[in-house]
Structure 1
């Protein structure tokens, strides 16, 4: 009777195993592929949601925190990036994860300065110009100070874009600047559109770096340049230990004091440690088709600038 009422142990085990397999499959469909959020293991979708929340939380204090965490050195790093780019009037730039506009504003200032120097050189080379001709040249410069250059700031986070637009209005930037809500993994732009693609302190917050790099390659014109400024891996062992101590013991405290958000800055510190080292990122950039890929370490590798060309 017992055998008739209850399945044998081996059959029961098989059924339990089948149920567990189905539950596991369902869980996998729900959670999706696994990745990391700082030192936590999470699904890709959960990571995207958490990162969006991080930057929504810190948007208003983002620039103040950058100054506090880096002691202002992030400004120098961004200036180095701009000089490495060396844009000329007429350059079309997309700055991805550009949020509050730091790279965009530097780009506009740089192009204006280049165009002004070009005008001065032109006038010096033509000493016999009349004052009417000189005045006309200056009027042309005044009407088109960027030489048709444009920068498109693209960011996935509405609050970061909002903060950037407010800064632009406060600082007087309007010409040659536009703001687009978009995902680095699926950019809302046509193929072969931009001369330069930049992403500064943003690529480590992208869930699928490979997709972001593919999109960078797609939207660049043939001959276009990819530039990435990002925290990286410190080569000096002593500096590395001091850097870790500062990162884990000081940065989250600054986040709590200045932005009222310990957890977001704890994540940002952890995300740096999980980011691919310089050579690994270089290989990833090459894998999507970029050529002449190299990188420059700044401050012993605290940050690195990676560069590549679509040839």
Structure 2
């Protein structure tokens, strides 16, 4: 035979031989073998509102919990057989949750989420549909390694999709650091809209007499503006101990066609130090020469 723990409480308020307020609470614990199984009910009757709520908390297995609430109201607010179901599973590195809100004739909300946590990796997937919107899916992928960081986020409906991706990578040989951010918006009636930013720092040469490093930044967007659609900025820094000078070159490419180059040289020979600066550009030469170089010798 099974032994249950149960309790029942009732509360009544009488006024002028009437019973305007009645409340009742029932509760039962039927847990077995370490698995929870609780059931309860709440009923409330007033001149303005009638409410009945039934609650169940079950533990189908050690790693899962199911909570069910059924709600019925009357008088000022009428709700018939509204059911709220919550499911949660925890299996170490994998966690899952579900929400379902419905009546026998209508589904108001149905949502679920699934998360997997690995070594330095998190993957999350979810979807939701309700009475007010169509199915929406979302996905998150996160990596956090010593040399690689990655974040991907995606949300998708039947007609639209949004993607966000950010990544960081640090490579030891050759020494290089990459950074990238990309946003893509898709609509079923039009072409994808892409916004992208990429950066890189790279060690080109590391020798006894020569050291060279380059940084690059590239940005492009799809918006119709009259001046800047994309740009590529690149800087190269060189230390030449044989020639005894520092050299920096800056290149700027706008909209893929307009290239500007600026150079700066600092010579540190003890007997003949000097500074040289140069500029080459594609714009109107009447305002400034297209190609100019200035040197200062000491």
TM-score, normalised via structure 1 length: 0.22
Decide which structure has the larger Cα Rg and report it: 2
Greater fraction of residues in helix? 1
Higher relative contact order, chain-length normalized (CA < 8 Å, sep 6+): 1
TM-score, normalised via structure 2 length: 0.22
